[in-house]
């Protein structure tokens, strides 16, 4: 299956079936002359997802990624609704749309209590933010935004007020449940963390170093409890059962199988986040994955 063989269309935005999720520097330390975004586009990935960070407004990295590429989608995963004023974000999105029509998707999320000083009523905060985007000039249309939704109430809001959902740190079972809640038409774009390591001990060690911080966040831990994981699974850095379900590890074929499982469960687009590389952006790992998925 090629990344473009299963197109996911949000009106004029086509994501393809597989994308890249990355929150660090978009550069290979050993080869700074390489334009990572250009390379990923040439490999066949359909979208590049990047964190919106905690600075107010919309990060300039999205414009840089769009300018380095010609046709793939760039998406925010996510813009924090506690730090980015709706009007400022809407104006920035309009600017990107004017320069790169149909190629930017705004992902919005409520972040976590431990990271936001005035965190309260996250659902209401999201509703208010969407109301502001709808009433601002310029607006950000419903079909050009997705929500970082995990559990039923936010998933329902994602279906009602946006193009769909962008869940993070989730197993295949979440994709199946999310699809049932979202209905058949909403977009479902889960993030999938990847460890390209075939030795179980080393793979799980790397996966746990990634997972520990997320399991300390109630939003993620409670979502996993909702999916049936027990306290022994979500405590510390996670049980083998949880690690194996949430993080895909193994060879390229094993990772490809997990991606296909998410698709079969209802995901339209899976964005891959490779962890465990020490040399800046792990371009070679994404190239290996593209050989099986794109």
Confidence bin at 50 (pLDDT 50/70/90): very high
Report the pLDDT averaged over residues 134-150: 94
Contact call for residues 288 and 272 (beta carbons, < 8 A): no
Taking the CA atoms of residue 172, residue 176, residue 179 and residue 184 in that order, the dihedral angle to the nearest 10 degrees is: 120
**Strand 104-109 with 145-147, pairing:** parallel
Record: fold of 9-193+265-293: TIM Barrel (3.20.20)
**Strand 191-195 with 9-10, pairing:** unpaired
The CA distance from 249 to 104, in Å, is 30
pLDDT at residue 8, as a whole number: 53
**Does pLDDT of 198 surpass 60?**
yes
Report the pLDDT averaged over residues 59-71: 96
> CB-based contacts of 237: which residues, under 8 Å, 6+ apart?
208, 209, 211, 212, 215, 243
Q: Indicate left, alpha or beta for 48 from its phi (over 0: left) and psi (-120 to 50: alpha).
A: beta
The CA distance from 242 to 250, in Å, is 16
Report cis status (omega within 30 of 0) of the bond before 138: yes
Contact call for residues 40 and 287 (beta carbons, < 8 A): no
What would the DSSP string read from start to end of 22-69?
E-S-SSBTT-TTS-HHHHHHHHT--EEEE---SSSS--THHHHHHHH-
Q: Which two tokens stand for residue 121?
A: 């009523």
Sequence ranges of the domains in the chain: 9-193+265-293
Residue % of the chain over a pLDDT of 90: 82
Angle at which helix 122-135 crosses helix 86-99, to 10 degrees, equals 50
Q: What are phi and psi of 78, to 5 degrees?
A: -140, 170
| Residue pLDDT, tens place only, 85-133 | 899 999 999 999 999 999 999 999 998 877 777 888 999 999 999 999 9
| Start-to-end Cα distance in the chain | 7
- Cβ-in-10-Å burial (0-12, 13-18, 19+) of 279 comes to exposed
The CA distance from 55 to 89, in Å, is 11
Q: Angle at CA 269, nearest 5°, toward 266 and 273?
A: 120
pTM score: 0.94
Buried residues in 236-258 as b, exposed as e (16+ CB within 10 A): ebbbeebbbbbbbbbebeebbeb
| Residue pLDDT, tens place only, 144-155 | 999 999 999 999
**Which three-class secondary structure state does DSSP give residue 277?**
coil
**Strand 13-14 with 9-10, pairing:** antiparallel
Give the CA distances from residue 285 to residues 17, 70, 200, 277, 288, in Å, rounded to whole numbers and listed in that order.
Answer: 18, 22, 18, 8, 5
């Amino acid at each position: 299956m090629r990344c473009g063989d299963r197109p996911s269309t949000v009106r004029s935005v086509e994501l393809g079936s597989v994308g890249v999720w990355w929150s660090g520097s978009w550069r290979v330390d050993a080869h700074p002359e390489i334009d990572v975004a250009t390379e990923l586009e040439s490999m066949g990935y359909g979208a590049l997802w990047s964190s919106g960070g905690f600075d107010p407004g919309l990060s300039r990295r999205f414009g840089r990624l769009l300018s380095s590429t010609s046709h793939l989608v760039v998406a925010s995963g996510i813009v924090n609704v506690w730090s980015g004023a709706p009007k400022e974000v809407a104006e920035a999105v309009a600017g990107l749309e004017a320069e790169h029509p149909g190629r930017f998707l705004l992902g919005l999320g409520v972040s976590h209590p431990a990271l936001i000083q005035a965190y309260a009523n996250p659902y209401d905060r999201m509703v208010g933010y969407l109301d502001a985007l709808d009433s601002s000039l310029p607006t950000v249309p419903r079909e050009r935004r997705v929500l970082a939704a995990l559990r039923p109430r936010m998933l329902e809001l994602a279906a009602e007020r946006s193009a769909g959902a962008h869940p993070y740190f989730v197993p295949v079972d979440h994709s199946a449940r999310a699809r049932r809640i979202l209905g058949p038409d909403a977009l479902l774009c889960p993030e999938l963390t990847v460890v390209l390591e075939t030795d179980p001990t080393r793979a799980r060690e790397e996966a746990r170093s990634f997972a520990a911080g997320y399991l300390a966040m109630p939003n993620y831990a409670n979502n996993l409890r909702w999916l049936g994981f027990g306290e022994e699974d979500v405590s510390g850095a996670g049980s083998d059962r949880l690690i194996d379900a949430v993080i895909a590890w193994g060879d390229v074929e094993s990772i490809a199988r997990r991606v296909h499982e998410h698709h079969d469960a209802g995901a339209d687009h899976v964005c891959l986040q490779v962890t465990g590389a020490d040399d800046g952006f792990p371009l070679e790992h994404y190239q290996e994955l593209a050989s099986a998925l794109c």
